Amino acid sequence: QIDEAKAAASVDNLRSPICCILGHVDTGKTKLLDKIRQTNVQEGEAGGITQQIGATYFPMDAIRQKTAVVNKDGKMEYKVPGLLVIDTPGHESFTNLRSRGSSLCNIAILVVDIMHGLEPQTIESLNLLRDRKTPFIVALNKIDRLYDWKPIPNNGFQDSLAKQKKSVQNEFKDRLEKTTLAFQENGLNAALFYENKNMGKYVSFVPTSAHTGEGIPDMLKLLVTLTQQRMAEKLMYLSELECTVLEVKVIEGLGTTIDVILSNGVLREGDRIVMCGLNGPISTNIRALLTPQPLKELRIKSHYVHHKEVKAALGVKIAANDLEHAIAGSRLLVVGPDDNEEDLEMEVMSDLEQLFSKVSTSGTGVAVQASTLGSLEALLAFLKSSSIPVSTISIGPVYKRDVMRAGTMLEKHKEFAVMLCFDVKVDKEAQAYADEVGVKLFTAEIIYHLFDAFTAYKKEMTEKKKRESAANAVFPCILNPVAVFNKKDPIVVGVDVVEGSLRIGTPIAAVKKNPITGEMETISLGRVTSIELNHKAIPICKKGQPSVAVKIEGPNQPLYGRQLEEKDTLYSLISRVTIDTLKIHFREEVSKEDWQLIVNLKKVFNIA
Ligand code: GDP
């Protein structure tokens, strides 16, 4: 009898798995969610689908109804009490959120547009899911766009396909094959769900249409089957508290609130809670636990229903004091009677501290700002694999003070005076300030877009620097004049290049003893503006080439016959600055011989 009571209690205590939906933009994530939320009027209200905070709850009754068309033999088992689907589609960072080491998301739907196949964000999502070891299915959406598709609303896919023309079936087969291949190229084996014999080894493709509802029953059935198969039994029972902050929001009349997903355990009004904050741990008491008012109750003034107690899994808004600096993505812990609050504070802060430990210790690098702990972590991992150093990190919207911090790079490492902002808003004043001082802000909702933009920017900076420093890039040469064609303004001389190479733009000088002071003196002639070989202009003349006619222009030129004589050897005019410029920006273009020549010229010009 006691055993029976226990069993009954545990059935009651089963918790619902949490499902995330992700994929490339415009694949139909929002539409799919809308479609599964829709209640079927003819079949009566699909019982109890509830809109929660940041999530929608589908009780098993609703799922049973929605999957009836593909469960005609009644063999499908419904063991979990329902499914909690996180509402913000495409929010990669949620997949990356963790609560107590396990992923917040128990199962995921990766949506792919069957007409487009794999897209960049699909691959990013794939990698996230793989890293987190999250089980997932792939919805091949928009099948109604196959040419000549005849829809049968809300039908099972296999039946719908069987009723299509041969040409439609062939196009489907063709696209399926292409996508399968593309997944394979990304290291993932996948198979059409009803041909998949091993769900542990192969990911299932389930063709869907968010417009006609076809395939959605299959998708739901597959989700339930896969969770029941893959989720560890213990995960399905209410146990230790697992709770994650999704968003921090200011609500009129409530102040700053946090939207949380309670993935396991129970929360009660008045509970003492602890979470990670930007300025240190936050400990406070739950003032109110709120979920949205059901649609039909819209006449009621308050937007929210208050709860004394809520049980996993669900999305709920928490009102409490001191939430202003709460961090999205943080774990939320409840201080139990045997807990030491300080220990819990240390525990929640460790997630952020672990990220801070990834910041470059030299203090040189880009600034990184993201919406949540999870997205920040994903972005840092990405930057690390791309060898981009990071100097500071932060979470939440970008304000002027963040730009000021990034601006400290302007002086020494301009290429790092950059902020990579992932999925965050940039305050107007912050943007204006960034434009003013020259801090570059990159914002994107896709990590690899940030990376691409930054890489392109860095390349452009290098090129620009090279261009800017070109005037200071003086390649060494020694010239023997053989004729003077024009004595001044401009000087035109015939020369042999006896060492190094002479280029357009090279500054030229002679070094002579001053007849009055007796000291060695550098006489600057100006810069080379043209080099002609047999009356043909050339950009460069190397040692050993025939004599060339060189035009040299510049202010206050010396005069041949006065300060200069034809026999005076001419040199490229080098200095400490020109040597450093070559070292920094043109190292690859300077030969060993050139470096040796520079050493010799240093003596000529008396450079230390
Ligand atoms: P999300 O960016 O992934 O959330 O994509 P949306 O749900 O906003 O859909 C993007 C566009 O694709 C919208 O114009 C939808 O109407 C359209 N769309 C979504 N699903 C389907 C589908 O199954 N069939 C067709 N024909 N269009 C779809």
Q: What is the pLDDT of residue 100?
A: 41
Give yes or no for a contact between 111 and 163, defined as CB atoms under 8 angstroms apart.
Answer: no
SS3 608: coil
Q: What is the pLDDT of residue 462?
A: 81
Q: What is the pLDDT of residue 150?
A: 97
Q: What is the pLDDT of residue 99?
A: 44
pLDDT higher than threshold 70 for residue 104: yes
Nearest Cα residue to 399 out of 434, 373, 435: 434
Question: CB under 8 Å to 36, separation ≥6 — which residues?
Answer: 58, 66, 85, 216, 219, 220
Nearest Cα residue to 317 out of 252, 245, 243, 260: 260
Q: What is the pLDDT of residue 238?
A: 66
**H or E element that contains 122:** helix 120-132
Confidence label for 278 from pLDDT (cuts 50, 70 and 90): confident
Q: Is the CB of 91 under 6 A from ligand 1?
A: no
Q: What is the pLDDT of residues 326-369, one digit of tens each?
A: 988 888 999 999 999 999 999 999 888 888 887 877 888 999 99
Neighbour-count burial of 357, counting CB atoms closer than 10 A to its CB (0-12 exposed, 13-18 middle, 19+ buried):
exposed
**From CA 339, how far away is CA 333, in angstroms rounded?**
10
Share of the chain above pLDDT 70, in %: 90
Residue with tokens 């042999």: 496
Q: What is the pLDDT of residue 9?
A: 43
Q: Which has the higher per-residue pLDDT, 474 or 87? A: 474
Confidence label for 564 from pLDDT (cuts 50, 70 and 90): very high
Q: What is the pLDDT of residues 584-599, one digit of tens each?
A: 888 888 999 999 999 9
Q: What is the pLDDT of residue 39?
A: 54
Residue with tokens 């601006």: 407
**From CA 372, how far away is CA 377, in angstroms rounded?**
8
Spacing, Cα 211 to ligand 1 middle (Å): 8
Q: How far is CA 49 from CA 144, 249, 460, in A?
A: 26, 25, 53
Q: What is the pLDDT of residue 41?
A: 42
Question: What is the chain's alpha carbon radius of gyration, rounded to the nearest angstrom?
Answer: 35
Q: Is the CB of 114 under 6 A from ligand 1?
A: no
**From CA 488, how far away is CA 177, in angstroms rounded?**
76
Spacing, Cα 192 to ligand 1 middle (Å): 22
Going by CA atoms, what residue is nearest to atom 22 of ligand 1? 142
Written as one letter, the residue type at 34 is: D
User: What is the mean predicted confidence (pLDDT) over 11-29?
Assistant: 81
Q: What is the pLDDT of residue 558?
A: 94
For residue 208, which atom of ligand 1 is closest to its CA?
A: 23
Spacing, Cα 514 to ligand 1 middle (Å): 83
CA atoms within 13 A on the CB side of 501: 16
pLDDT higher than threshold 90 for residue 290: yes
User: What is the mean predicted confidence (pLDDT) over 179-198?
Assistant: 94
User: How does DSSP classify residue 595?
Assistant: H
Written as one letter, the residue type at 469 is: S
Which of 21, 30, 31, 115 has the most ligand 1 atoms within 8 A of CB, as the residue to mutate? 31
Q: What is the pLDDT of residue 1?
A: 45
Mean pLDDT estimate for the chain? 87
Spacing, Cα 168 to ligand 1 middle (Å): 20
User: What is the mean predicted confidence (pLDDT) over 94-116?
Assistant: 73
285 CB neighbour count, 10 Å cutoff: 13
Confidence label for 301 from pLDDT (cuts 50, 70 and 90): low
CB burial string 141-169: b at 16+ within 10 A, e below = bbbbebeebeeeebbbbeebbeebeeebe
Q: What is the pLDDT of residue 4?
A: 46
pLDDT higher than threshold 90 for residue 321: yes
**One-character DSSP codes across 401-448:** HHHHHHHTTTTT-GGG-EEEEES--B-HHHHHHHHHHT-EEEEESSHH
**From CA 472, how far away is CA 480, in angstroms rounded?**
23
Going by CA atoms, what residue is nearest to atom 19 of ligand 1? 28
Helices (H) and strands (E) in the chain, counts: 15, 32
Q: How far apart are the first and last CA of the chain?
A: 97
Q: What is the pLDDT of residue 16?
A: 83
CB burial string 512-550: b at 16+ within 10 A, e below = beeeeeeeeeebbbbbbebbeeeeeebeebeeeeebbbb
Confidence label for 460 from pLDDT (cuts 50, 70 and 90): confident
pLDDT higher than threshold 60 for residue 20: yes
pLDDT higher than threshold 80 for residue 205: yes
For residue 23, which atom of ligand 1 is closest to its CA?
A: 3
**From CA 218, how far away is CA 71, in angstroms rounded?**
9
pLDDT higher than threshold 80 for residue 172: yes
SS3 142: coil
pLDDT higher than threshold 90 for residue 602: yes
Q: Which has the higher per-residue pLDDT, 237 or 470? A: 470
**H or E element that contains 282:** strand 282-285
Question: CB under 8 Å to 86, separation ≥6 — which residues?
Answer: 18, 19, 20, 21, 54, 55, 94, 105, 246, 261, 315
Give yes or no for a contact between 605 and 522, defined as CB atoms under 8 angstroms apart.
Answer: yes
Nearest Cα residue to 63 out of 228, 310, 304: 228
ipTM of the complex: 0.99
580 phi and psi, to 5 degrees?
A: -65, -40
Confidence label for 43 from pLDDT (cuts 50, 70 and 90): very low
SS3 209: coil
Least confident of 117-126, 278-287, 418-427, 524-533: 117-126
pLDDT higher than threshold 70 for residue 450: yes
**From CA 69, how far away is CA 235, in angstroms rounded?**
29
Question: CB under 8 Å to 591, separation ≥6 — which residues?
Answer: none
Q: Is the CB of 19 under 6 A from ligand 1?
A: no
CA atoms within 13 A on the CB side of 215: 25
233 CB neighbour count, 10 Å cutoff: 9
Nearest Cα residue to 223 out of 59, 375, 108: 108
Q: What is the pLDDT of residues 120-162, one digit of tens each?
A: 778 878 887 887 788 899 999 999 999 999 999 999 999 999 9
Q: Which has the higher per-residue pLDDT, 576 or 56? A: 576
Q: Is the CB of 35 under 6 A from ligand 1?
A: no
Q: What is the pLDDT of residue 131?
A: 76
Spacing, Cα 542 to ligand 1 middle (Å): 64
Q: Is the CB of 142 under 6 A from ligand 1?
A: yes
Q: What is the pLDDT of residue 421?
A: 93
**H or E element that contains 346:** helix 341-356
Q: What is the pLDDT of residues 503-513, one digit of tens each?
A: 999 999 999 98
Q: What is the pLDDT of residues 393-415, one digit of tens each?
A: 998 889 999 999 999 999 888 88
Q: Is the CB of 445 under 6 A from ligand 1?
A: no
Going by CA atoms, what residue is nearest to atom 14 of ligand 1? 26
- How much is the pTM? 0.70
Give yes or no for a contact between 284 and 344, defined as CB atoms under 8 angstroms apart.
Answer: no
Q: What is the pLDDT of residue 298?
A: 47
Q: Is the CB of 440 under 6 A from ligand 1?
A: no
Give yes or no for a contact between 396 and 429, defined as CB atoms under 8 angstroms apart.
Answer: no
Q: Is the CB of 29 under 6 A from ligand 1?
A: yes
User: How does DSSP classify residue 234?
Assistant: G
